[in-house]
């Protein structure tokens, strides 16, 4: 049974609540940190241990929250709701809470519902559908007191979401406090492993077209039977070794790794292997006897999956009656309704609904969402007919759409107000069912179903939503997501469906460029649609995109289709040192930008206007009078004069970091003094030449700037320079930087392309 999805990490919140047992709590954290598929967050009564003797790695410091055990007040530098917000965050994130440890004082406070500190606040806010592992900590005298026994008994009977492990105890002698060896190592390891197994159950799914087969029961029919050879061929086709083995049908299928020891001539060796092999091959009576003989304290993930997959209700009943602790620790709370919905086992759902152990029906939206995700229509039917409140989220339809479960999508439609009326009048027996179905019409939560279907490339699901008559949103994402993920068949369908009303934006070519889908780019070229794009976006996508053959394919496609990128990625990397040298000549406010980010900002500034930018040698020959320059003072037409040369600064007005007002203040004027009052390099002067549009023809009445030497690498600073003058210099240097990126990376203008 191959795995279809990677295992999610178990989110464990560890509360170190006792300052006197802080070292013990740190040992618990270190042990949890060594486990695979475990993510940790820690709330502690003490600062992060920095001692060399601590075995807690330093990277856990970022998930370590220190709090005051004697107060629940928010820190003075935080707002008044800080504590409650942290509690809500921790409770939502966590799958498991570990109290390592909890002293007698806080144990009593917990039982009385007090919230005098952070960990008690978490306990009071905890979702009791999730487990809590409690390690008591107290002296031996306190532990032997009848009050402690009474408290432990109450927790076991009334607070069954909490598992109490053996206590961490101490006594006193002449040397003071003496800690006793903790006897809970095995129980702790088993509890954590059980939680990991329970979370992962159902991730191994059967490789069948329809995974939810009926429960295996012996037939009493004495009619014709299929020959063993035919059964062997059928089960060989299913690629399901477990199913063939439990049916005792010979196949040539490879033995899965987890079964190799048990299926070998030596047979199973460990207790868990014996239980697993018994569940797979033994009759129910022998399985029950083995459980009674071995009396296990936990069972493995494989055992749990076999019980659920083959709906072993007699085994569940036996464990419920004869092994209560094992049963509740494994199958208690919401496990059965949630996982039975994954496997589509209505037999287990019926058992759960009628079992006296589950008088309180605990379940969440996960049950119906799981049934939709795993294509279990029979489980959906059971929930609908059960009379229980139906709890579900947008994930039900979103995951069914993503997986292409059309039967599930039809089920939801048929149980909503969008269902089709029957073409023939119902029979008398069907009238009651029809009336009840009409009375219990479900409200569909469509969510982003069309988006999920598009992302997975599931055209049948998209067809369903289009033809269903059910309103859905996020239609505007179809073309972009289909392009990003390379689904040209969806683009074909959507183009034929929406024709000229198809919705897309100027980012529709960025995704396939970054992901290496040259076929999608070619599709857009042949579509006849007019697609706008920004060259800076395409170049950024090429820089950040996939490598190898797919990356080269999109680069060639763009080159063949007329995109002048100037220099490629390797050439850009070669020019980085020179551009970095230019950046170093700028004021410090620019130094926070990386070279790559500066390049991107420059491109955005350069290509913001929707106009062609061209520079020719004849521009430098054009002469402007001071009166001519003074007419160019608007945001989209802005000239400035430096050393009797006229520069067009229009292209970066919107993107200037100092604001457009500062630049407009010097528009149409001689800004030589402002330019020279801040030092700049020869490189910056060369770059500024690229903005040249002409020279200034002065008259006797025109104002004249101070005399400056233009050839020096650095100009002297005027004694009368003001803050405003410095800002003007920054403006000009920012423009020079924009042109620098433009010069090195080629003429990358915003383009409109009809492809």
Return the pLDDT at 652. Answer: 60
Report pLDDT for 208.
38
Which tens digit of pLDDT belongs to each residue from 157-193? Answer: 999 999 999 999 999 988 889 999 999 999 999 999 9
Q: Specify the pLDDT at position 189.
A: 95
Tens-place pLDDT, residues 407-418: 999 999 999 999
- What separation in angstroms does the CA of 162 have from each of 11, 28, 43? 17, 18, 19
Buried b (16+ CB within 10 A) or exposed e, 125-164: ebeeebbbbbbbbbbeebbeeeebeebbeebeeeeebbbb
Residue 162's DSSP bridge partners are 132
DSSP string, 682-709: HHHHHHHHTTEEEEEE--TTS--PPP--
- CA angle 432/437/438 to nearest 5° reads 100
Q: What is the overall mean pLDDT for the chain?
A: 81
* H runs (alpha helix) in 444-566: 449-455, 459-468, 478-484, 488-498, 510-515, 518-526, 535-544, 548-560
Phi, psi values for residue 135, rounded to 5°: -110, 105
Q: How much of the chain is in helix, strand and coil states, percent to nearest 5?
A: 50, 10, 40
pLDDT at 41: 97
Q: Using the predicted structure, report yes or no on whether residue 72 has a pLDDT greater than 80.
A: no
CA atoms within 13 A on the CB side of 161: 16
Ranges assigned E (strand) in 511-670: 530-533, 623-625, 633-634, 637-642, 645-648
pLDDT above 90 (res 495): yes
Write out pLDDT tens, residues 558-611: 988 877 655 444 454 444 444 444 444 444 433 334 444 444 444 443 333 232
For residue 713, the model assigns a pLDDT of 37
Most confident of 450-454, 640-644, 654-658: 450-454
- Predicted confidence (pLDDT) per residue in 730-754, tens digit: 555 555 555 555 554 444 444 444 4
Per-residue pLDDT at 396: 97
| pTM of structure | 0.69
Q: Which pLDDT value is given to residue 89?
A: 96
pLDDT (tens digit, 9 = 90+) per residue, 281-307? 999 999 999 999 999 999 999 999 999
Q: Which residue has the tokens 């990625």?
A: 569
Which positions ≥6 away from 755 have C-beta within 8 Å?
Answer: 521, 524, 525, 526, 527, 531, 561
Q: Give 644-669 pLDDT, tens digit per residue.
A: 888 877 766 665 555 666 567 777 78
CB-CB contact of 139 with 172 (8 Å): yes
Give the pLDDT confidence score for residue 500 in this predicted structure. Answer: 87
Would you state the structure tokens that stand for residue 574, as one six-digit string? 């070669």
Task: Say what the pLDDT of residue 749 is.
Answer: 42
Predicted pLDDT of residue 71 = 80
Residue 5 pLDDT > 50: no
pLDDT at 229: 86
Residue 223 is predicted with a pLDDT of 60
Structure confidence by residue, pLDDT tens digits, 106-156: 999 999 999 999 999 999 999 999 999 999 999 999 999 999 999 999 999
The average pLDDT across 233-254 equals 91
Residue 222: what pLDDT? 60
Residue 196 has pLDDT above 90, yes or no: yes
Helices (H), 264-323: 271-281, 284-294, 301-309, 313-322
Closest to 400 measured CA to CA, from 471, 441, 448, 437: 448
Q: What is the pLDDT of residue 33?
A: 94
pLDDT for residue 148: 96
Mean pLDDT in residue range 540-545: 90
Whose tokens are 């529709």? That residue is 508
Question: Are the C-beta atoms of residues 413 and 445 closer than 8 Å to each other?
Answer: no
Q: How many whole angstroms from its chain centre is CA 173?
A: 54
Distance of CA 184 to the CA centre of its chain: 35
Confidence category of residue 672, pLDDT binned at 50, 70, 90: confident
pLDDT at 668: 77
Q: How high is the pLDDT of residue 421?
A: 60
Contact indicator for 247, 280 with CB cutoff of 8 Å = no
Q: Per residue, what are the HEC states of 392-439?
A: CCCHHHHHHHHHCCHHHHHHHHHCECCCCCCCCCCCHHHHHHHHHHHH
Amino acid 685: pLDDT: 63
From the list 605, 505, 513, 601, the residue with the least C-alpha distance to 561 is: 513
| Sole residue written with tokens 């060639």 | 556
* Contact indicator for 653, 660 with CB cutoff of 8 Å: yes
pLDDT one-digit tens code per residue, 700-732: 777 766 555 544 433 333 344 344 444 445 555
Of 9-23, 347-361, 373-387, 709-723, the least confident:
709-723
- CA 610 to chain CA centroid, Å, is 37
Query: 38: which strand partners?
Result: 10
The residue among 417, 406, 367 whose CA lies nearest residue 390 is: 367
User: What pLDDT score does 747 carry?
Assistant: 44
Q: What angle do CA 55, 60, 64 make, to 5 degrees?
A: 110
In this predicted structure, the answer to whether residue 538 has a pLDDT above a threshold of 80 is yes
């Amino acid at each position: 049974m191959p795995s279809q999805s990677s295992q999610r990490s178990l989110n464990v919140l560890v509360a170190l609540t006792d300052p006197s047992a802080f070292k013990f709590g740190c040992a618990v954290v270190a042990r949890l940190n060594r486990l695979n598929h475990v993510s940790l967050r820690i709330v502690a009564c003490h600062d992060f241990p920095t001692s060399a003797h601590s075995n807690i790695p330093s990277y856990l410091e970022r998930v370590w929250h220190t709090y005051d055990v004697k107060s629940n007040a928010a820190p003075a530098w935080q707002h008044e709701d800080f504590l409650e917000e942290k509690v809500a965050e921790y409770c939502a994130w966590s799958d498991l809470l570990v109290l390592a440890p909890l002293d007698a004082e806080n144990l009593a406070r917990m039982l009385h519902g007090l919230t005098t500190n952070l960990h008690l606040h978490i306990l009071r806010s905890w979702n009791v559908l999730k487990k809590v592992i409690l390690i008591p900590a107290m002296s031996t005298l306190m532990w032997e007191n009848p009050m402690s026994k009474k408290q432990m008994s109450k927790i076991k009977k009334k607070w069954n979401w909490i598992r109490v492990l053996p206590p961490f105890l101490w006594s006193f002698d002449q040397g003071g406090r003496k800690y006793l060896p903790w006897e809970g190592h095995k129980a702790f390891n088993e509890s954590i492993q059980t939680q990991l197994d329970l979370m992962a159950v159902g991730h191994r799914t059967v490789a069948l077209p329809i995974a939810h087969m009926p429960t295996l029961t012996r037939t009493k029919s004495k009619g014709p039977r299929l020959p063993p050879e035919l059964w062997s061929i059928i089960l060989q086709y299913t690629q399901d070794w477990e199913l063939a083995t439990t049916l005792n049908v010979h196949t040539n299928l490879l033995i899965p790794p987890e079964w190799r020891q048990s299926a070998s001539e030596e047979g199973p060796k460990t207790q868990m292997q014996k239980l697993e092999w018994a569940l797979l091959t033994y009759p129910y009576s022998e399985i029950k006897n083995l459980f009674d003989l071995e009396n296990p304290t936990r069972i493995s993930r494989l055992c749990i999956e076999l019980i659920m997959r083959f709906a072993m209700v007699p085994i569940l009943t036996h464990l419920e009656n004869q092994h209560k602790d094992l049963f509740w620790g494994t199958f208690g709370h919401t496990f059965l309704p949630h996982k039975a919905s994954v496997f589509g086992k209505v037999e287990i759902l019926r058992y759960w609904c009628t079992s006296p152990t589950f008088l309180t029906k605990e379940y969440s939206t996960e049950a119906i969402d799981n049934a939709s995700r795993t294509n279990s229509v029979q489980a959906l039917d059971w929930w609908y007919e059960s009379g229980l409140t139906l709890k579900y989220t947008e994930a039900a339809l979103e995951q069914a759409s993503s997986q292409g479960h059309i039967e599930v999508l039809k089920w939801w439609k048929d149980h909503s107000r969008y269902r089709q009326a029957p073409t023939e009048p119902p029979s008398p027996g069907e009238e009651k069912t029809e009336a009840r179905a009409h009375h219990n019409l479900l409200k569909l939560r469509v969510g982003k179903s069309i988006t999920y279907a598009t992302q997975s490339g599931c055209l049948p699901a998209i067809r369903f939503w289009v033809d269903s008559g059910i309103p859905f949103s996020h239609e505007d994402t179809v073309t972009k997501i289909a392009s990003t993920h390379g689904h040209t068949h969806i683009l074909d369908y959507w183009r034929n469906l929406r024709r000229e009303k198809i919705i897309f934006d100027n980012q529709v070519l960025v995704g396939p460029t970054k992901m290496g889908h040259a076929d999608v780019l070619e599709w857009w070229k042949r579509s006849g649609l007019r697609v706008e794009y920004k060259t800076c976006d395409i170049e950024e996508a090429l820089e950040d995109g996939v490598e190898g053959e797919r990356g080269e394919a999109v680069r060639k496609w763009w080159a063949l289709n007329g995109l002048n990128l100037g220099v490629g990625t390797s050439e850009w990397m070669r020019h980085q040192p020179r551009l970095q040298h230019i950046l170093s000549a700028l004021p410090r406010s620019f130094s926070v930008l990386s070279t790559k980010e500066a390049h991107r900002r420059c491109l955005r500034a350069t290509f913001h206007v929707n106009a062609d930018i061209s520079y020719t040698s004849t521009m430098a020959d054009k002469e402007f009078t001071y009166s001519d320059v003074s007419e160019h003072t608007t945001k989209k037409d802005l000239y400035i004069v430096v050393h009797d040369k006229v520069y067009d600064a229009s292209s970066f007005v919107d993107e200037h970091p100092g604001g457009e007002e500062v630049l407009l203040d010097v528009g149409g004027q001689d800004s030589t003094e402002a330019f020279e009052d801040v030092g700049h390099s020869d490189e910056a002067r060369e770059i500024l030449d690229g903005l040249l549009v002409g020279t200034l023809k002065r008259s006797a009445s025109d104002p004249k700037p101070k005399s400056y030497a233009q050839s020096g690498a650095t100009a002297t600073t005027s004694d009368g320079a003001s803050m405003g003058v410095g800002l003007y210099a920054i403006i000009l240097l920012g423009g020079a930087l924009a042109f620098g990126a433009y010069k090195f990376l080629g003429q990358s203008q915003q383009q409109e392309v009809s492809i």
